[in-house]
Structure 1
Amino acid sequence: MRRRVLLVDGYNIIGDWPELKALQVNDLEGARDLLIQKMAEYQAYTGIEVIIVFDAHMVPGLGKKYNNFQLNIIYTREKETADEKIEKLVKELKRVDIQIYVATSDFVEQRVIFASGAFRKSARELRNEMIAIEKGIEKQVKKTREAKAKTKLPISEEMAEIFEKWRRGEN
């Protein structure tokens, strides 16, 4: 099975998704955290490895790598753009057994990425996938709750209530 990797241009996505764009006006860190949380859900749900790249000019200092929510989060070095870092990562990761996707709405970057053999994914496409994933997660949580409420033993509702009261220590 092929390894699948999604490289996300962090600030490009924040600047495109309405909920993140509105949040970044007063709370850029909060917008970053929300994107990271959503991408963690995306990774867990799809099984696609996610690497988020943020430009260093928004966070001064040397390039850094973090591993939050089992995601790789990269802050580029000063004077290195997220686009440059993503292009380097595509070249580093490019192998026959790895399928690479890049999420950005930067048209020039999309062309460069496509030319280097990666698949492009617009910010809108990623957002639509994320909305579908969130709905899928909601359905799974609801099913799990309903399944837990039912017992596997073929007993009447009345007996199930009695057992539940015993379990909770009620007489």
Structure 2
Amino acid sequence: MKSFGSARASAPGRRHSTCLIVDGYNVLARQAQQPLGAISNLEAKRDELVADLSEYGAFSGQQVVVVFDAGRTSDRAVDEQHSWGRTIYTAPGETADERIERLVYELRDQFHHITVATSDAAEQQVAFGGGALRISAGELLKRLREAKQQISRRAAEVQAAPPRLDEALSAEVAKKLEDWRRQ
């Protein structure tokens, strides 16, 4: 099992606080409100979801693991490590549900709280049985929208705030003022 490479990583032997495991294609289908096969430019939508989840992970402080089902392809499994978590493409013959189920058991010693985001009722039951909390794909999408709104509001507040005096002064003037202060 690979460990997370996070700046917020705990000391050896200590557990992180929270982890969000996302059934990527389940969330994309919910977002589009149509089956995966009907979603045009699925790869771009997948990239958008990964970007949104990375932003959400950074904002919320959670490690995020997003799992995409590659079970019906001949592509090899991929497990990409990021500062915010991981992106996993399952192995041939392995479903996202199977991988998520394993992840819940693998990660429960590493995290105090694990939440699985999927609208698949069977997967929700398995996650709950493994000790994870569960939320629907719709609830995750709502949380992503709310986080984006909060980030936008905070960014606007920072941009609207008057600059601090030490930021508005040239380096030369700031040095002269500091020299006077020290006299």
TM-score tier, shorter chain, comes to 0.7 to 0.9
**Which one-letter code corresponds to 1:111 in the other structure?**
Q
Q: Is the 8 A contact 1:20 1:31 kept in 2?
A: no
| Offset at residue 19 of structure 1 (A) | 8.0
Report what 2:69 is aligned to.
55
Cα 1:139–1:131, aligned 2, differ >3 Å: closer, same or farther? Answer: same
Partner of 1:140 in structure 2? 154
Query: 2:130 is matched with which residue: 87, 94, 116?
Result: 116
Deviation per CA, 1:21-64: give whole Å up to 9, x if none.
79x72201101001001101110110000000011146531111
Percent of paired sites with the same residue: 36
CA distance in 2, matches of 1:33, 1:96: 27
Query: 1:167 maps to what in 2?
Result: none
Size of the aligned set, in residue pairs, is 154
Counterpart amino acid of residue 138 in structure 1: S
> Aligned partners of 2:63 and 2:110: how far apart in 1?
16
The partner residue of 1:91 within 94, 97, 105 is: 105
Unpaired segments of 5 or more residues in structure 1?
154-159, 165-171
Q: Cα distance 1:82–1:146, how it changes in 2: closer, same or farther (>3 A)? A: same
Q: Do the aligned partners of 1:37 and 1:69 also contact (CA within 8 Å) in 2?
A: no
Secondary structure of 2:93 counterpart: coil
Segments of structure 2 that go 5 or more residues without pairing to the other structure are 1-14, 171-183
- Corresponding residue number in structure 2 for 1:151: 163
Moved over 6 A (4+): 19-22
Which one of 62, 65, 71 corresponds to residue 85 of structure 2? Answer: 71
| SS at 1:110 equivalent | helix
* Cα distance, 1:96–1:145 mapped onto 2, change above 3 Å: closer
Q: Paired residue for 1:38? A: 52
The aligned counterpart of 1:169 is: none
Residues 50 and 72 in structure 1, CA contact (< 8 A), matched pair in contact too: yes
Give, in whole Å, the separation in 1 of the partners of 2:57 and 2:51: 10
Say if 1:97 and 1:105 are closer, same or farther in 2 by CA, change over 3 A: closer
Structure 1 length as normaliser, TM-score?
0.80
